[in-house]
Structure 1
Amino acid sequence: MPDLKTAVTGNTLPRHLGLFGLWLLVVNGLIGAGIFGLPGGAAKLAGEYSPLIYLFCALLILPILLCMAELASYFRGSGGPVRYGTAAFGPFIGFQAGWLYYIARLVSFAANSVLLVDSIGYFWPAAIAGFNRVLLLAAIIVSLTLINVVGSLRAMRSLALLTVIKFAVLLLLVVAGASLLGTKLLPDFNPLTVFNSPYDIGAATLLLIYAFVGFESVVVPAGEAKNPARDMPRALILGLLLVTLLYIGIQLVSVAAVTDIANSSSPLLDVAAALFGPVGAIVLMLGVVASVAANLLGAIFSTPRASFALAEDGSLPRWFGAVQPHFLTPANSILFFGVLALMLALYGSFLWLAAATVVSRLLLYSLTCAAVPVLRPKLAVSDSFVLPLGYTIPLLGLAACGWLALQVSLSSVIATALFVLLGTALYFLARRQASRN
């Protein structure tokens, strides 16, 4: 088991990721497919106040993100939550943090793979039926897996291209929509009366908060960052700022462009069609495909680094920690992730598993906030990103996690508990195998 110094400084992968590469991981972790379907539900629950709910969600997530930014500035090795949990609370908690992160991202990856195929089915209906669906899912997951196996630089170039397409489509919708709508874009409301409105603000917040999770994926490949102490905090903060502004702009345009947006099952497609006709809907669908593909590529880049870090710590078999000698990537961990994701996407009934990702992320975020007061006295140095106001911000992050946890269903809690038990069994099995060897 590595000591604290090794956990902080250890590294076996080449450092290719600069600020831009880390920023790409942040924004693609945040912006997946959700924003293409959320405006309708947000308008139904919060009406013209819905743009304010995005801002409220960003403020809720901000202290959690800042705590992760501080912890990221202390560590130079890959692993993210695995490293933080291990250094602060011991190897068992560190393993559980990595395990919960891994499962949440794996199920999300499988679900988004299916969503990408369904989006392609908009152009080619036969793609979502029978053997064509199997072939398309296999082609998507295998190609993303191989891109990551052959090198992080190639993965980042592909991610950059998809991000450009995604942002171009979304920004075009906001800018062109604002130009066409003019003063209609701004709703006529008094923000001070929002909580006296007939809308369900709590439910709207719970719905939209999921558009702000996923940023934690950037801290997992910290061992491949050129200067994680400097660039990680910047990437996280800049990513949240840009994404929040984009979300608010999208919601303003959506509410103004389509009067019945609250009852739409494909809100942004309806917005694009209302503003620009059928061609606009087609262009926006290309943005959906690019957005989901970028989210998938970011997930399959960062998540296998968690199992790689667990193997380096001795919490998973050494096989997961092998580095491909030619490409210098954690190929075994990437291949394992790709195989599991393909199995879930093809055969698994994983919709009930998706509920567990909610509680899993809240547990991860709580662990992150709780680790700050433990690790700051031990690891903070002159060039670290140390939060102001003492431990007020970590406490705010814990309070936000607690409030959000009160909104989740019992089934989500039970599913997460089952995953924790499974992870515990795997952990002790790996320990037993290690002691025998």
Structure 2
Amino acid sequence: MHHQQTELKKELKIRHITMISLGGIIGAGLFVGSGSLINSAGPASIFSYVFAGLLVVLVMRMLGEMSIVNPTSGSFSTYAREALGPWAGYTVGWLYWFFWVIVIAVEAIGGSNIIQYWFPSLPSWSVSLALTVLLTLTNLYSVKSYGEFEYWFSLIKVVGIVLFLILGGAIIFGLIPGVHSPGTSNLLHRGGFIPNGFSSIFVGIALVMFSFMGSEIVAIAAGETAYPEKAITVATNSVIYRIIVFYLGSILVLVTILPWDSHTLLKNPFVSVLNVLHIPAAAEIMNFIVLTAVLSCLNSGLYTSSRMLFAMAENGDAPRVFSKVNKKGVPLYAILGCTVVSFISVIFNYLSPDKIFLFLVNASGGVALLVYLVIAFAQLRLRRKYEKENPETLKIKMWLFPYLTYATIFVITIVLIMQAFIDSLRSQFFLTILSAIFIIGSFFVRKNKRSTDLLSAEKKQISLHSKAK
């Protein structure tokens, strides 16, 4: 009986995992964020997506290799601890947790903006609260209900994008009577394919990396399925097609149909394409799909951040209370902890949107790249260890090891450093580095205190983190 209360239930099915990995990558970033990127890089923005997509595929491959050997909810925080030492596991775990807790807040605010489109009289803070509470409840109920919600949210997104691609293709190839096909005019005759030079493509890469964050959720979910090996294999192998079809396909349709330098059309690019077809409720339909994307991100954010907190509490990197599990195998306190922090962030958005909230969003912005960097370093270390100890567990292998791993580390480092030189990303770069230094510092402070008095260390850490929030 006792055993049951300390472990997560393995209730996620393969179909849940497949949809979680599909949906994790299609966030509001694709629907809303793609417009501003196309505005800045023109048709060449497709290269930003190709390049960032390639990086994500490589990182996912490395993560898949480690996850198959050791599927756990701590995922890369556990691998970092194993490969690089306890400080690395602690740092990447807290950074990742911080990233997702802020994402929950951002998505709750995004969701309330969309709902206000239909119900303008509702105060937006109440809608953000309602959405957060609603999805907290599905997460608290059971991991299976999280998986089930995620399954349907993702299904709506995927079906929406596939229909969009079919309609877009039909416009481009002139298959729709009465709708003029733009041919290649938008791609080539508005200052060429790369109107703003190669640097605009690079700025794009950093931006796209954030919309791809979420593809690694599947490695965390693998700790809660009865078939981790099959789940990880499916997810790792399909990440390539997902990026090509959903992202590259959508962006290709957008830059072909819409002029890249039109600010009005790219405010909501997907709606604009549907308007070309004179679909009467285009904005409504697309808004509904974007809302599902937002809710799915919120749902996954709660799931991911709570599981990371749970795993860190088990390792002694977070207050022990977060490792408690109820009868349904749900880490109750971890989920509530993440909800509360997100809710405080949402309140900040109304009290001080341009200062505190912007600070939090920027400070968590560069985390994706840092997490990817740690995954690559961990894989470099662990692969050699696995090959020595038990090579038969390596069911998925990183391609061209170690050269591709080195290349990935090199490229991610370049993209990270470049942020410091790009005006729009500079504050984000420095704030993220600061957050990382703060967390590493707190690790060593804690380690020194620990030997003297465990209890005061626990109290101190709770206050440190509430200050950090």
TM-score, normalised with respect to structure 2:
0.82
**What are the equivalent positions in structure 2 for 1:34-433 lying under 5 Å apart?**
34-127=29-122, 132-182=123-173, 184=181, 187=184, 198=197, 200-259=200-259, 262-263=262-263, 264-325=266-327, 327-348=328-349, 349-380=356-387, 381-384=391-394, 385-409=396-420, 410-424=426-440, 426-427=442-443, 432=449
Q: 1:279-334, CA deviations, whole angstroms, 9 ceiling, x for partnerless residues?
A: 11110110010111111111111221111011100111210100012x21111100
Post-superposition offset of 1:84: 0.9
Query: What secondary structure does 1:12 align onto?
Result: coil
Is 1:51–1:251's contact at 8 Å kept on the other side of the alignment?
A: yes
Q: How far apart in 1 are the matches of 2:139 and 2:405?
A: 34
Q: How far apart in 2 are the matches of 1:342 and 1:186?
A: 47
Farther off after superposition, 306-315 or 275-284: 275-284
Q: How far apart in 2 are the matches of 1:285 and 1:353?
A: 27
Is 1:119–1:285's contact at 8 Å kept on the other side of the alignment?
A: yes
Is 2:42–2:194's contact at 8 Å kept on the other side of the alignment?
A: no
Aligned position for 1:3: none
- Give the partner amino acid of 1:417: I
Q: How far apart in 2 are the matches of 1:363 and 1:415?
A: 13
Identity %: 23
Is 2:416–2:429's contact at 8 Å kept on the other side of the alignment?
A: no
- Give the partner amino acid of 1:407: M
Q: How far apart in 2 are the matches of 1:187 and 1:152?
A: 48
Q: 1:175-210, CA deviations, whole angstroms, 9 ceiling, x for partnerless residues?
A: 1222233254764769xx966974632223333333
Q: Which runs of 5+ in 1 are unaligned?
A: 1-10
Is 1:69–1:236's contact at 8 Å kept on the other side of the alignment?
A: yes
Is 1:186–1:252's contact at 8 Å kept on the other side of the alignment?
A: no
Q: How far apart in 1 are the matches of 2:195 and 2:292?
A: 39
- Give the partner amino acid of 1:309: A
Q: 1:187-246, CA deviations, whole angstroms, 9 ceiling, x for partnerless residues?
A: 4769xx966974632223333333322212222233212232342143133134223311
Tell me how many residue pairs correspond in the alignment.
420
Is 1:96–1:420's contact at 8 Å kept on the other side of the alignment?
A: yes
Q: How far apart in 2 are the matches of 1:75 and 1:186?
A: 50
The CA RMSD over aligned residues, in Å, is 2.5
Is 1:254–1:271's contact at 8 Å kept on the other side of the alignment?
A: yes
Compared with structure 1, are the counterparts of its residues 77 and 405 closer, same or farther at alpha carbon in structure 2 (3 Å cutoff)? same
Q: How far apart in 2 are the matches of 1:299 and 1:235?
A: 18
Q: 1:318-360, CA deviations, whole angstroms, 9 ceiling, x for partnerless residues?
A: 10100012x2111110010011111111224322222223322
Q: How far apart in 2 are the matches of 1:174 and 1:399?
A: 34
Compared with structure 1, are the counterparts of its residues 308 and 168 closer, same or farther at alpha carbon in structure 2 (3 Å cutoff)? same
Post-superposition offset of 1:274: 2.3
Post-superposition offset of 1:164: 1.4
Query: What secondary structure does 2:282 align onto?
Result: helix
Q: How far apart in 2 are the matches of 1:198 and 1:283?
A: 35
Compared with structure 1, are the counterparts of its residues 369 and 425 closer, same or farther at alpha carbon in structure 2 (3 Å cutoff)? closer
Is 1:138–1:342's contact at 8 Å kept on the other side of the alignment?
A: yes
Post-superposition offset of 1:78: 1.5
Match of 1:20 among 15, 20, 26: 15
Compared with structure 1, are the counterparts of its residues 86 and 399 closer, same or farther at alpha carbon in structure 2 (3 Å cutoff)? same
Is 2:108–2:129's contact at 8 Å kept on the other side of the alignment?
A: no
Compared with structure 1, are the counterparts of its residues 186 and 17 closer, same or farther at alpha carbon in structure 2 (3 Å cutoff)? farther
Is 1:63–1:396's contact at 8 Å kept on the other side of the alignment?
A: no
Query: What secondary structure does 2:173 align onto?
Result: helix
Is 1:159–1:294's contact at 8 Å kept on the other side of the alignment?
A: yes
Farther off after superposition, 180-189 or 166-175: 180-189
Compared with structure 1, are the counterparts of its residues 397 and 225 closer, same or farther at alpha carbon in structure 2 (3 Å cutoff)? farther
Q: Which runs of 5+ in 2 are unaligned?
A: 1-5, 175-180, 350-355, 421-425, 456-469
